Chain A
Amino acid sequence: MVQAPVIALKHVTFAYEDLVVLEEVNLAIPAGDLVCLVGPNGSGKTTLLRLLLGLLRPTRGEVRIFGKPPDRVRSRIGYMPQQADLDRRFPVTVLEVVLMGRLDSRLHGPYTAGDRRAAMAALGELELTDLARRPFASLSGGQRQRVLIARALCGGPELLLLDEPTANVDALAGERLIEILGRLNQRMTIVLVSHDLGFVSPVVKTVVCVNRCVVVHPLGELTEAHLRELYGGRICLVEHDRVVVREPADA
């Protein structure tokens, strides 16, 4: 029995007034995939993400998550936005930030004990339990990123969408994040936007190249030629985890 794709885009076009950002996008992401969206600036990767989140409606075509429009399945999607837009001085604790992931469109009273349990469980999964009561503002970049992932998780999602999870984070923290994503992938589908494919490649299974149109490659088949075509110019491929040994020239 073939399982229906988690994400299905059919003939999706998106235009801001007369500027076409995405054209005739057809995409199907199966359950359990870990997808990286790559592409140059202004290519439409962010627009694609916002279409998946239900923040934008396509000009033409349809976007389906779990077979329904995104705004019907909000509780099944977890979202980690870019940190840059947050006011870091905001008077809020780590736990309070994570609890926000339990809100939804229904009218709410105060958070329940169940909400707190879910939030603490999410914090535990990200190894942040000790920091629950600390002000969000006092954390390092990497810790804040993990808090935002915990917030995305505590609603119990089946699909996780992350916008530049390793940006603004040092290499060591970034590697830790990638490990966590790999672990989470065992029980949910993950889509992330990243400008550094090489860094996240240890866990990525599928690469979706976005530049107004969309081309899909399993990671193993992605070549330099593909990337050159995508970025439209000379590119520099940085290979991580490889030590290049230079032999001294023979005298």
Chain B
Amino acid sequence: MSTQPEAPRFPFPPSPVPYSPGPEMRELMAKCPVAKVRLPDDSMAWLVTGFDETREVTIDQRYSRALVFAPGRQVYGMEAALAVSLIAMDPPAHTRLRKLMAGAFTDKRIQALRPEVTRIVDDLIDAMLAGPRPADLSRSFSLMLPASVICALLGVPIADVDLFHEWSNALSGDWSRSGDEIAEAYAAMIGYMSEQIARKRKAPEDDLISVLINARDSGDKLSEDELVQLCIQLLAAGYETTANSINMSFVALCQNPGELARLRADPELIPAAVEELVRYVIISGSGFIPMARITREEVCLGGVTIPAGETVLPSFNVANRDPAVFDDPDRLDVGRAPKAHLGFGVGAHHCLGAQLARMELQEAFRGLLTRLPGLRMTVPMSELEFRAGQAIASMRELPVTWDDA
């Protein structure tokens, strides 16, 4: 028997291919789907990379999200912002709030929004066509599309997008962020959202904030605090993820020119391609600690016994590369037969906006690939810069150009 090797430090260094697992992660994936790692504060955790094990951790209620936020625990400075959020709750407390919003994000409702999203895509591309080349795809398109959509859904002015961006950058921080910086951004967001709510309480509109106000004022289904929180979370969760998914997916396609050409030649493949890109592309920042769970009792996971009270880290996008579930998982195949993946998580915390994100990504790529001929990056992937300390990989810019029509 060899001696027990020391647990590796997590998070791992940035992967050389930002949308794929790096060498340290691959070693664990191959050797042990449930592995012990050491976190920046020197505490220990169990990193889960297998598909079945990740699904189990996320669905089984013996793994608690709420306990992560129990008093005295350090959650990389985000306690204030997260302790009262949906992602810090377990069923049934979580269910009570989640179901208030479920109706606004069902597939039926999202498909009804598609023409509006198509129009936003076309407007953004018109502006790109009228502007200079190279352009910054991130700023001129990837961020503006989901920001415009979530602002329209919530009923807040898109003119405030720079504010949201600043707050969201602070709030989606990692271990390197100071608690003060996050608390300040959070307080600003509470102030902003409280004003929006007061305005809509006087004059309700056909938007999600008004729906939630009505659930509070007519149905007493949530507290005033919860109302403000939910609105903030919808705004904060609504675009950084989608924006960087568009950016990173485009980079992944550029690195796989055969697949990009295949998609251009056959736009009918776009829905399948989006599903494949969500499976394949990792959008977490390099410093990201996955959405941890704490074991409520001793559990057995993938043959490993984990005592009660330990931190477990499910890694959805890494689990999406599990060869036991996906054939040739490291190959990007825009025509891959549909199969359930974990790109939007699974279980009670499955992404509320999953159907919206799918539809936005479909319309984004339909627009980009059909209206901007030969759209391509103007810098090599190695020159892309990412904002430091972000939970979601946030590109500083994504310079692109295209051919004349």
A joins B in a complex? no
A residues near B (Cβ < 8 Å) are none
B residues near A (Cβ < 8 Å) are none
